[in-house]
Amino acid sequence: MREAGYSDEEANRVKAIIGKKGLGRDPDVQALEDCACLVFLENYFADFSRKIKHDHMVRIVQMTWRKMSPRAHELALQLPMSDASLALVKEALGVE
């Protein structure tokens, strides 16, 4: 970024966001993490979950969920998912 003319301050800010410095406290860092988690759930989760052992997949969902904001939780539960994917998410969350 510096070679492209951005200031040290701008480059350091992007470095902090990409490095997830301040997850849960910094709105920009949280927005990027929420976006990444939602993209995973919407576009890659179903295929990925078929390749991973069930118990491990439950732990992955739990870890992913912990990184997400409450608003991202709401959005995630509104994503179109197969019955199998939704059941896996609900199992990971301990919800019926």
| Cβ contact 96:90 at 8 Å | yes
**What pLDDT does 95 receive?**
87
Q: Alpha-carbon distance 82 to 75, whole Å?
A: 16
Q: pLDDT tens, 31-82?
A: 999 999 999 999 999 999 999 999 999 999 999 999 999 999 999 999 999 9
- For the entire predicted model, the pTM comes to 0.86
* φ, ψ for residue 49, nearest 5 deg: -65, -25
Sign of CA dihedral 71, 33, 67, 93: positive
Return the pLDDT at 55.
Answer: 96
Confidence of residue 96 (pLDDT cuts 50, 70, 90): confident
Check if the beta carbon of residue 36 is closer than 8 Å to that of residue 43. Answer: no
